[in-house]
Structure 1
Amino acid sequence: MKKLLYAAMAVAGSFLFAQCSDWTDLENKFEEPYNSHGEDYYEALRAYKKSDHPVTFGWYSGWTGVGDNMYNMLRGIPDSMDIVSLWGGAFNLTPAQEEDLREVREVKGTRILYCQHIMDIGRSMTPAEVENDHIVNGKQYDSYEEAMAAYWGWYGNSGDTSPEGIETAIRKYARVITDSINKYGYDGFDIDYEPNFGYGGNISSYPNRMHILLDELSKQFGPASGTGRILMVDGEPQTLNAESGPLLDYYTIQAYYCRGDWDLDNRFQKLINKFKDITPGESDLEKEANILRKTIWCEDFEKHNSDGGPQFTTRDGITTYSLKGMAMYYRPDVGKEVQVGGVGAYRFNLCRPHNDYFFVREVIQTMNPAQH
């Protein structure tokens, strides 16, 4: 297991976490050879990723499938990373991207998700002639709203605005998203859901409508589907209807710039308040533990790609960087043995040229220590 978890681990030498300046003093390595360990290694790697363990997750940007030092290649990320969500560029792939995707999924067992903001119906899935020219089946419409309603069945105050008509339109939208994901064989759908942070819309601002969307998606993704493919909501899952919780594999929290466990505690309490009553468990503590196992804390590497996040203090008085602090998070009432579902970072690949994913590698080891 030590070889598995540290297959591409760059040794950083002396590394002191007491001072922020030390966090950035890392040598670029770029040493890991791809697909050179033999099939036994990759078979063990795939088995590890199928096991029950805290996952390492991240949003990947700027993916091309080619580039110096594998900076823009999925195959350049740490072997033991579990889940990657593509932030843009998930469709209309080049041959290089197709091969890169195939190798990391089939050889390394990394699960690759499609990521999209959910706001208004039709977002990212409406033909250009409908959105831009307001033409549907050869007919010209006077406005964007009318054209969208003609295509989807409902939009705003146009089309079938009855509850049944709105539901039918939302389910159609969900099926189109599913078809697009299936076309490229992705391992699931990561919904960026931030209705209270500038991304409201005629679906996202209405939890009942979001539940309809999730219910339709859950036929092929998430725990209810039985497919093993992931359905997750990042951003504000605590604002969903409680009934939506069982449809999700993970509650992914953008806990950016957190300074300590007290901040994570406040965020976690919102999850407890929303999902406790629908979470399996014979006691409140057992339910709390099960919610924790579904929670992924995330940092922002667009801002903190070279230091792993701001200084963070754990409830045990340990000072470290925030991503590692998140990996060490536990709930005193349920005990340290119940670990968080995982940790991740927005645009985690931006740390590649700074330190060759050092912080990602270290939190993998923090959550899943190598067995000696």
Structure 2
Amino acid sequence: MKMKFKRCIQLGFLLVCACSIAACKKQNIPAPLDLQKPTVYSDDYYIKLRAYKNSDHARFFLWLADYNVKGATTASLGERFAGVPDSVDIISLWGGIPDSVNNPNDYKEMRFSQRVKGTKMLNVTLITQDRLTRYTQDDKGIRDFADALVKDTYDNDLDGLDVDYEPNGGFYQNQDNFIKLILRLSQFLGPKSGTGKILDIDYYGDTPPNVLAPYVDFVVQQAYGNGSAAGLQSAYNSISGGYKPGQYYPAETFGDYYSTGGVQFKDVNGNTVTSLLGFGQWNPTQGRKGGFGVFYGQRDYYNPAPYGYIRQAIQACNPAKK
């Protein structure tokens, strides 16, 4: 009995090992992943989408990064232009301008978003010192810098330029220098140029000079972590001497708050919502805002509902017609 029992144990152990090896072999067999694919709609859908984006509404502004991935056809839609919600109006190309040679799929998807979906694609530049070493710090350097930005925008067939006004004590901390830069750019971009190309200023600490209001389409405030309608109202009041309500875009950051949709935000009625949703619902007392936005919005793709917070905020700001 003991020998038979021992032999049974040995046979059972060998059977378990054989099953385990078979299971391991099965798991190691390469198999294609069933990745989510972009939805393709009818021509009529895209005609209506472009009409919506050309209509009078509060626009959504997105700083986009994490694309420019080699082999992007197999990348997550969170790293592709094709994954961005169709209702996004403007994309600032924080991840750089896609290269048609080295990043052909990103380039193709960007052009499809731009030309078929009607999404505005903006070149973007910082004005900190490390970006300006090739330019002299004088009036000639200002013109050369502006002209290079214009050339880059036109050569890449983009819809405009997003100027990140964070001088951090550098040459453009002197507002006279920054004014000269925007005035030079405004000859080729923005409402004074007659080109239809966008010129905007985004800012964090330093506020853009009021004198520049007629020369830019809008300003985007990095109102990161702002927790109330009263806080946004105060922020807008600080520039309202020059910039109209329709030129003001408050923006949240999903560099920090993507998993929660923002911080807790108290609206004008005392209700608490997520801040991105609050930004979408809020308007200055002086009139309707021009739009709102988010930095690193592509991270919202990885929430339970892909781009769920962004879609909810856009819908709350611009309810779909029934």
If the length of structure 1 is used for normalisation, what is the TM-score?
0.71
In the alignment, which of 181, 190, 195 is matched to residue 162 of structure 2? 190
Q: How far is 1:210 from its partner? A: 0.8
- After superposition, where does 1:272-291 map in structure 2 within 5 Å? 272-273=240-241, 275=242, 291=244
Counterpart residue number, 1:369: 319
Counterpart residue number, 1:78: 85
Say whether residues 1:343 and 2:289 are aligned partners: no
- After superposition, where does 1:225-240 map in structure 2 within 5 Å? 225-236=193-204, 239-240=207-208
Say whether residues 1:175 and 2:147 are aligned partners: yes
Q: Distance in 1 between matches of 2:179 and 2:312?
A: 37
Q: Distance in 2 between matches of 1:296 and 1:91?
A: 26
Identity %: 31
Q: Distance in 1 between matches of 2:47 and 2:169?
A: 43
Say whether residues 1:104 and 2:113 are aligned partners: yes
Q: Distance in 2 between matches of 1:109 and 1:227?
A: 17
Corresponding letter in the other structure for 1:324 = L
Change (3 A) 1:32 1:264: farther
In the alignment, which of 131, 141, 146 is matched to residue 123 of structure 1? 131
The answer to whether the 8 A contact 2:114-2:120 is kept is yes
The answer to whether the 8 A contact 2:201-2:208 is kept is no
The answer to whether the 8 A contact 1:238-1:270 is kept is no
Q: How far is 1:64 from its partner? A: 2.1
Q: How far is 1:222 from its partner? A: 0.9
In the alignment, which of 222, 227, 233 is matched to residue 265 of structure 1? 233
Counterpart residue number, 1:51: 55
Say whether residues 1:241 and 2:194 are aligned partners: no
Q: Distance in 2 between matches of 1:32 and 1:254?
A: 32
The answer to whether the 8 A contact 1:191-1:232 is kept is yes
The answer to whether the 8 A contact 2:65-2:296 is kept is yes
Q: How far is 1:180 from its partner? A: 1.1
The answer to whether the 8 A contact 1:305-1:351 is kept is yes
Q: Distance in 2 between matches of 1:322 and 1:236?
A: 17
- Which secondary structure does the structure 1 equivalent of 2:121 belong to? strand
- After superposition, where does 1:5-24 map in structure 2 within 5 Å? none
Mark the runs of 5 or more structure 2 residues left unpaired by the alignment: 1-34
How large is the Cα RMSD of the aligned pairs?
2.0
Corresponding letter in the other structure for 1:358 = G
| Structure with greater Cα Rg | 2
Deviations 1:98-142 (A, max 9, x none): 21111111111101111111124x826xxxxxx6xxxxxxxxxxx
Mark the runs of 5 or more structure 1 residues left unpaired by the alignment: 1-29, 125-130, 132-147, 156-165, 280-290
The answer to whether the 8 A contact 1:250-1:294 is kept is yes
The answer to whether the 8 A contact 1:237-1:251 is kept is no
Q: Please say which of residues 212-221 and 234-243 is displaced more in the overlay.
A: 234-243
- After superposition, where does 1:149-168 map in structure 2 within 5 Å? 152=135, 154-155=136-137, 166-168=138-140
The answer to whether the 8 A contact 1:91-1:184 is kept is no
Corresponding letter in the other structure for 2:315 = Q
The answer to whether the 8 A contact 2:36-2:77 is kept is no
In the alignment, which of 301, 321, 325 is matched to residue 254 of structure 2? 301
- Which secondary structure does the structure 2 equivalent of 1:253 belong to? strand
Counterpart residue number, 2:42: 38
- Which secondary structure does the structure 1 equivalent of 2:51 belong to? helix
Deviations 1:157-190 (A, max 9, x none): xxxxxxxxx2232112100111111121111111
The answer to whether the 8 A contact 1:238-1:271 is kept is no
Deviations 1:35-62 (A, max 9, x none): x211011011011111111001111111
If the length of structure 2 is used for normalisation, what is the TM-score?
0.82
What is the number of residues matched between the two proteins? 282
Q: Distance in 2 between matches of 1:307 and 1:237?
A: 24
- Which secondary structure does the structure 2 equivalent of 1:262 belong to? helix
Say whether residues 1:90 and 2:62 are aligned partners: no
Corresponding letter in the other structure for 1:95 = P
Say whether residues 1:223 and 2:197 are aligned partners: no
- Which secondary structure does the structure 1 equivalent of 2:97 belong to? coil
